[in-house]
Amino acid sequence: MSRRLASKIALFSVLAAAGSVACESPQSAAAPASGPAAAPAPGAAAPPEVRIFKKPEAATTFSVQTIKGQRLSTADFKGKVTIVNFWATWCGPCKAEIPDLVALQERYRDYVQVIGISEDEDAPDVVQRFADERKVNYPIAMSNDDIRKIFPGVVALPTTFILDKDGHLVQKHIGMLNKAMTEHEARAIAGLETKANVLVVEPDQPVGLANAAEAKEIPGVDLKPLSAAKRVEVLQRLNKEGCTCGCDLTIAKCRIDDPACGVSLPIARRIVKEMTEGLPASR
């Protein structure tokens, strides 16, 4: 195994652990008299670890208009754990985690508010039909420059930001959420009983695309001139086709995790050229 491959595997292991676990504060051990019963800890061994950012900063207040035309603001979510989930209809991991978010919203409606931010470039009614088919029970808004400034660094989908009851950013997950761990996280931050242990961590984390995240931006490759449909088509291919540098990653993930890679960049550019000029695929 090459040193480069070994280091990437080690990085992914750390990120997978950080991205899949849930969060709690030390003061949240005592549960209120009411509220859903605590989720059982996965397995019978050590309890899960919940990670929250050290000295979490208050997120900028924001207001969004949902695809149903409803105006929502930060004040509407005060007192609840807010889960801001960036996703897209073309993103496989995003679609896979929607049922878990729906179940979480249903079970913890008094304590948790999920908000979906669609990165689709289709019209809102297309996204609404998609959401209706999957019985999404939480509000969805279309992404825009203002919301991206408040929640920066969304280079892959899904990306999820977790705000505590006072609007402080306590965690960020890149990649598909783990159902059980997300429930532990939500319970802990909401002040409900949980068997999870609490770890306070620094907010600075390497990007790394763990948990089946799909890149929506490719370092070194300009996708802006492409039409929305073609951009999705190109991204899907870059998120599936493997790099040949020895990293065992997709081309998109290699570009994100190692922008200096001299193998993935020409492959990515070649794919874009082939797909935009209608040339046959070649490696």
| pLDDT per residue as tens digits for the range 128-154 | 999 999 999 999 999 999 999 999 989
Predicted confidence at residue 28, as pLDDT, reads 38
Mean pLDDT over 190-218 rounds to 78
**Dihedral sign from CA coordinates of 168, 83, 18, 188:** positive
Average pLDDT over residues 151-167: 93
Structure tokens at 209: 């695309």
The pLDDT of residue 125: 95
Q: How far apart are CA 25 and CA 226, in angstroms?
A: 45
Show Cβ contacts of residue 197 under 8 Å, excluding neighbours closer than 6 positions. 24, 47, 48, 49, 50
Q: Indicate the pLDDT class of residue 57, thresholds 50, 70 and 90.
A: confident
39 and 179 Cβ atoms separated by less than 8 Å: no
The H or E element that residue 125 is part of is helix 124-133
Place 280 in a pLDDT band, splitting at 50, 70 and 90. very low
Residue 45 has pLDDT above 80, yes or no: no
- Taking the CA atoms of residue 142, residue 148, residue 153 and residue 158 in that order, the dihedral angle to the nearest 10 degrees is -10
CA atoms of 270 and 281, how far apart (whole Å): 9
What's the whole-number mean pLDDT along residues 37-44?
A: 55
Tell me if 7 sits within 8 A of 204, measured CB to CB: no
Residue-wise burial string across 20-34, b where 16 or more C-beta atoms lie within 10 A, e elsewhere: bbbbbbeebeeeeee
Rg from Cα positions in the chain: 20
CA separation for the pair 257, 114 (Å, rounded): 29
User: 63 with 74: CB under 8 angstroms?
Assistant: yes
Res 4: pLDDT: 46
Q: If DSSP states are collapsed to H, E and C, what string results for 126-170?
A: HHHHHHHHCCCCCCEEECCHHHHHHCCCCCEECEEEEECCCCEEE
How far are the Cα atoms of 161, 187, 213, 257 from residue 254, in angstroms, in the given order?
A: 24, 35, 12, 5
Residue 163 confidence (pLDDT) above 80: yes
CA 42 vs. chain centroid, Å, equals: 22
Q: Which domains does the chain have, with CATH numbers?
A: 23-201 (3.40.30.10), 217-277 (no CATH)
Q: Looking at per-residue confidence, does 145 or 203 come out higher?
A: 145
Name the pairing type of β-strands 49-53 and 112-118.
Answer: unpaired
Mean pLDDT of 183-194: 93
Cα-based distances in Å from 116 to 23, 61, 102, 246, 281: 20, 17, 11, 36, 35
What does the angle CA 16 – CA 22 – CA 23 come to, to the nearest 5 degrees? 125
- Report the range of poorest mean pLDDT among 77-81, 101-105, 214-218, 276-280: 276-280
Residue 282 has pLDDT above 50, yes or no: no
| Burial category of 202 from C-beta neighbours within 10 Å (exposed 0-12, middle 13-18, buried 19 and up) | exposed
pLDDT per position as a tens digit, 257-268: 888 999 999 999
Q: What is the mean pLDDT of the chain?
A: 82
10 Å Cβ neighbour count for 172?
Answer: 18
Model pTM score: 0.75
Higher per-residue confidence, 217 vs 87:
87
Mean pLDDT of 158-177: 93
**What's the rounded mean pLDDT across residues 187-202?**
88
The structure tokens listed for 149 are: 């400034």
Average pLDDT rounded to a whole number, residues 271-281: 73
How sure is the predictor about 283, in pLDDT bands with cuts at 50, 70 and 90?
Answer: very low
